[in-house]
Structure 1
Amino acid sequence: MQGYNVVMIYSKDMDRLLMCKRLKNPYKGLSNLVGGKIEIGEAGIEAAYRELFEETSISKEDVTLHHVMDFKYYLQHCYVEVYVGKLKHDVMVSGDENELYWSDLNKDFFNMSLYAGEGNIGHMIEQVNMSKDILLTD
């Protein structure tokens, strides 16, 4: 079963979420969270930090990631681990895999014509909102 991760990075002030515009399929042209494949033998948290750095230049020194949930897709033979973190300080993000941008949080993240993941992004944001005081205090 192939593993993947998505990483939700909030700005230092918790008022924006790092998103990317997908340049290739699946979800080409839609907004998504950053993330990627978990390599065989790689710990999930290490894969999350690796993908985050590869796609955004954000390092372990910039953010502490918390593993908040997983999705398991039996018919597609894969699972997705979801991590969240709040930047410790302002960071210049850069990456060439997808077009990165900071999104305000007042968007309809359940809108599947704009956002990848069949509404999962909206669901993940709502889960983080329910636990913000626990997750994002550091």
Structure 2
Amino acid sequence: MKLMCVALALASIPTVAISQTSPGVRMPPEIGAAYGRLGKAIMAHDAAGVKSVWADDFVVNSPNNEVLNRDQVIAVMERDFLDYKDFRKHITFIGEKPEMTVVMGYDTMIPLKGPGAGKQVMRPFTDVWAKRSDGWRLVARQATIAVAN
């Protein structure tokens, strides 16, 4: 169960393309390209590809309130817990600074495994990108599964 919750926290990352941005929100080209590379790498279970986008000190706060580092998250990915029937990333806010960019929005997906399998899930997220000497790297992520009332 713990691994499934972690996998759900990462599901917005596998997106290969941004499905929708709110009016007036512009995705920086380098970060949009990095999201695309990251999505392809996660879907292919390519740890080296993931590491090329995630910073060495990457952390994620998963829905089960556990903070995991990059290697812990890659271990979950390699166990094949990231399978989705449908996945869409909706960007609602991008805050750009010279050395940092914050991307916020929500993902909608239909997981094939774990909690919510076969049902559409919505998950708000916040991603923090930092400009490093080798380009933009994802350094932190928070993702929460929204529960419908």
So what's the TM-score if we normalise by structure 1?
Answer: 0.29
Normalising by structure 2, we get a TM-score of 0.28
Which one has the bigger strand percentage?
Answer: 2
